[in-house]
């Protein structure tokens, strides 16, 4: 009998990576076998991202080239999932006759059923506005023994470090952002479901968990999550997760500063296994721009949060996201952004040129910044951030840090610190194993990674 085989190409954020794992598991439970190439697959899924125009263009160009694969193999099913699917829906079905199924971001759990239906009728299924994140039992098998032909083994660090979705969607409506439209309104998962999922993972050998949500700080606000319906905050969830025996590191992403509570800041002082690392996207250093972005905090308030975080946890590593060239951004506004870099001295940042997204309020704003100005400012910003990252990394020189080993090969060993720094060790240390926690001495600091030697 010919096996049904699938290949999933993932674009975008960690939420999509986690959704891809869920789709892969659902398909495996329904008799599909994962394939290591598009050519060998009877089902190809694109799990897409629409956060910026560039991400979306990548999806459409791969979709275009799949037309040829379908001609060569007319029985191949093509499914578009993720944020582009959510936004474009039926339009993809109409424009692209080689696409069989388009599923919105909430339909990953009943994927197998939808695929069966789409074999009869090409369909687009979008997100309903009121949804629930189903109870989901994760696949804890670390080997994907069913893989057809040479397996693209899961990256070894995934066996010890996993993402767990705690909430989805966003109610904040920052004016540049498509997420409230592609992921819908905020929905939080029940505490018991999250704890059960993490327990299963930890029992199977996972020692590091990253809690995922578009805006984890507002966990538990939109719907009841506790068994007795009493209010339950994100900080309470962190405390509860930290009690799980065998869990060694806990992280979370991502947060909107406007929802950062004192209770959460205290967690960094109170919870041992909570990693001293915080991604706190600021988006701009100018109050005027923040206002037009609908971020609902000022730079003074943001700096106060930074100070309190550093007070609670002096060695906390801070990272941020920055949008360069938001409509109306003046030279002065951009200088404010550069000044913020000097004040906070982030360990690292992700910076992007503003990109117009359909349906957002920012798309309607006048005073769009010309492309060449955005490029020039982005370059200036990134150059300065790179210098600061290097200076920050040099502060670790000579320090003893604990790393969780992720990869061991003939070329050497790679691991990660609690602060989320990548650390490389020379090949002579490759007697350690992925998942081990080892103490190392930092011997070299680069812009993006550290080098170290094993502490004897
Ligand atoms: N243009 C550029 N960057 C954007 N981001 C979100 N929307 C846009 C947009 N329209 C960035 C923000 C966010 C990160 C995930 O992507 O910085 O924090
Ligand atoms: Fe988008 Fe703002 Fe929500 Fe983040 S907080 S997902 S940037 S709308």
Q: How many helices (H) and strands (E) does the chain have?
A: 13, 19
Q: By the 8 A CB rule, do 101 and 65 touch?
A: no
CA of 122 to the centre of ligand 2 (A): 32
Element spanning 69, H or E: helix 53-72
Q: Which atom of ligand 1 is nearest to the CA of 322?
A: 17
Question: Could you tell me the two tokens for 343?
Answer: 């004040």
Q: By the 8 A CB rule, do 176 and 354 touch?
A: yes
pLDDT at 152: 52
Question: For a substitution probing ligand 1, which of 176, 215, 374 has the most ligand atoms within 8 Å of its CB?
Answer: 176
The dihedral of CA 260, 261, 263, 265: what is its sign? positive
Residue 368: DSSP 8-state: P
pLDDT at 117: 87
Question: For a substitution probing ligand 2, which of 214, 221, 257, 281 has the most ligand atoms within 8 Å of its CB?
Answer: 214
d(CA 230, CA 225): 8
Q: Which residues is 283 bridged to in the sheet?
A: 322
d(CA 368, CA 366): 6
| DSSP reduced 3-state for 102 | strand
Which residue in 359, 105, 357 sits closest to 214, CA to CA?
Answer: 105
Minimum-distance ligand to the CA of 179? 2
Ligand 2 is surrounded, with C-beta below 6 A, by 170, 172-174, 177, 179-180, 214-215, 256
d(CA 441, CA 269): 25
Question: Could you tell me the two tokens for 379?
Answer: 């370059």
Question: Could you tell me the two tokens for 325?
Answer: 């060239």
Q: By the 8 A CB rule, do 221 and 260 touch?
A: no
52 lines ligand 1 (CB under 6 A): yes
Q: By the 8 A CB rule, do 156 and 407 touch?
A: yes
177 lines ligand 1 (CB under 6 A): yes
Minimum-distance ligand to the CA of 255? 2
pTM: predicted TM-score of the whole model, two decimal places: 0.93
Whose alpha carbon is nearest atom 2 of ligand 2?
174
pLDDT at 279: 97
d(CA 284, CA 268): 25
Minimum-distance ligand to the CA of 184? 2
Minimum-distance ligand to the CA of 180? 2
pLDDT at 148: 58
The span from the first CA to the last CA of the chain, in angstroms, equals: 56
CA of 255 to the centre of ligand 2 (A): 9
Instruction: Please report the DSSP string for 122-134 in residue order.
Output: -EEE---SS----
d(CA 439, CA 456): 9
- Per-residue confidence in pLDDT tens, the chain, 456 aa: 568 999 999 999 999 999 999 999 999 999 999 998 999 999 999 999 999 999 999 999 999 999 999 999 999 999 999 999 999 988 999 999 999 999 999 899 889 999 988 877 878 887 666 677 877 777 766 444 455 555 555 555 568 999 999 999 999 999 999 999 998 899 999 999 999 999 999 999 999 999 999 999 999 999 999 999 899 999 999 999 999 999 999 999 999 999 899 999 999 999 999 999 999 999 999 999 999 999 999 999 999 999 999 999 999 999 999 999 999 999 999 999 999 999 999 999 999 999 999 999 999 999 999 999 999 999 999 999 999 999 999 999 999 999 999 999 999 999 999 999 999 999 998 899 999 999 999 999 999 999 999 987
């Amino acid at each position: 009998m010919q096996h049904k085989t699938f290949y999933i190409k993932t674009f975008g954020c960690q939420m999509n990576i986690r959704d891809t794992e869920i789709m892969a598991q659902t398909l495996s439970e329904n008799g599909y076998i994962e394939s290591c190439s598009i050519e060998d697959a009877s089902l190809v899924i694109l799990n897409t991202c629409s956060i910026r125009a560039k991400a979306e263009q990548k999806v459409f160009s791969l979709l275009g080239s799949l037309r040829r694969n379908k001609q060569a193999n007319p029985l191949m099913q093509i499914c578009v999932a993720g944020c582009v699917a959510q936004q474009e829906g039926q339009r993809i079905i109409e424009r692209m006759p080689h696409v069989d199924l388009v599923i919105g971001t909430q339909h990953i759990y009943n994927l197998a059923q939808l695929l069966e239906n789409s074999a009869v009728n090409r369909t687009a299924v979008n997100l309903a506005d009121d949804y629930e994140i189903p109870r989901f039992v994760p696949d804890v098998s670390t080997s994907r023994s069913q893989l057809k032909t040479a397996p693209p083994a899961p990256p070894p660090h995934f066996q010890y470090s996993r993402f767990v979705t705690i909430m989805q969607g966003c109610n904040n409506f920052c004016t540049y952002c498509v997420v409230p439209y592609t992921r819908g309104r905020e929905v939080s998962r029940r505490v018991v479901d999250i704890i059960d999922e993490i327990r299963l993972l930890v029992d199977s050998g996972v020692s590091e968990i990253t809690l995922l949500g578009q805006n984890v700080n507002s966990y538990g606000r939109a719907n009841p999550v506790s068994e007795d319906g009493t209010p339950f905050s994100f900080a309470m969830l962190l405390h509860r997760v930290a009690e799980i025996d065998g869990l060694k590191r806990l992280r979370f992403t991502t947060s909107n500063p406007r929802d950062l509570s004192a209770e959460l800041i205290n967690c960094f002082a109170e919870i041992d296994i909570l990693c001293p690392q915080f991604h706190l996207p600021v988006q701009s250093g100018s109050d005027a721009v923040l206002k037009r972005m609908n971020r609902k905090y000022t730079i003074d308030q943001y700096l106060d949060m930074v100070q309190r975080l550093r007070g609670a946890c002096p060695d906390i590593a801070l990272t941020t996201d920055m949008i360069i060239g938001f409509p109306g951004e003046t030279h002065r506004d951009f200088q404010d952004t550069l000044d913020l870099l000097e004040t906070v001295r982030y360990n690292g940042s992700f910076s992007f040129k503003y990109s117009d997204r359909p349906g957002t309020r920012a798309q309607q704003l006048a005073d769009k910044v010309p492309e060449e100005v955005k490029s020039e400012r982005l370059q200036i910003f990134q150059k300065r951030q790179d210098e600061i990252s290097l200076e920050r990394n040099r502060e670790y020189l000579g320090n003893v840090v604990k790393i969780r080993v992720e990869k061991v090969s003939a070329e050497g060993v790679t691991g990660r610190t609690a602060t989320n720094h990548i650390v490389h060790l020379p090949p002579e240390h490759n007697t350690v194993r992925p998942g081990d926690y080892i103490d190392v001495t930092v011997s070299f600091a680069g812009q993006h990674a550290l080098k170290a030697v094993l502490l004897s």
